[in-house]
Amino acid sequence: MRVEHAGRVWVASGDYKVEPDPTCAPFEPVRCDTFITESTFGLPIYRWEPSRTVFDGINSWWRHNTAEGRASVLFCYSFGKAQRILGGVDSAIGPIFCHGAVEPLNRAYTQAGVHLPPTRPVSDIAAKDKTAFKGALIIAPPSAQGSA
C-alpha cells in the first residue's frame, strides 16, 4: 500500500513470497521515504517446500480421500491463505466447499480479477445432505475446528 501526503511517500507491505503466487501480484519495488514491512517467517531458520510440492501433496491426499468416499478438510486463515490454497489445488478432483468466513473473501478476490475455482458455502449443504461432502475439499478457518 502506497500513501502520499505532503510530499512524503510511505509504503506498507505484507508477507513476502519467494515464488509466484496466482492470488497476488508479484513484488514491485516502490520508491518511498518510509517503508513498513512485516515478515513473520522471514528468518533463515524457516525453510519452505516449493509450492508445487505442497500442492501435489494436498492433491494426492484429497484424491485418496475421494477414492475412500471421505471429505477432506483443510484449516487455513480465511483471508489470503484460503485463497492461495484454492488457487493451487486441482479443482477437477471434486467439489469445493468453503466455510461462511471464507466465501465473502473469495468473492472479493474474484471481483478483483483473481481466478479461483468455483466453491459453494458449506451452509448450503450442511443441514440438507451431508453425503454431498463425500469426495469434497472443505476449506475452513482454524476457529471452526471441532465445530459442527
pLDDT, position 105: 95
The full set of domain ranges for the chain reads 1-46, 51-144
Q: What is the mean pLDDT of residues 14-32?
A: 84
**CB of 147 closer than 8 Å to CB of 122:** no
Backbone angles phi, psi at 49, to 5 degrees: -65, 150
* Cell numbers for 50: 516449493
Cα–Cα–Cα angle for 60, 61, 63, rounded to 5 degrees: 65
Q: What is the pLDDT of residues 78-122, one digit of tens each?
A: 998 999 999 999 999 999 999 999 999 999 999 999 999 999 999
- In this prediction the pTM is 0.84
Nearest C-alpha neighbor of 83 from the set 123, 122, 112? 112
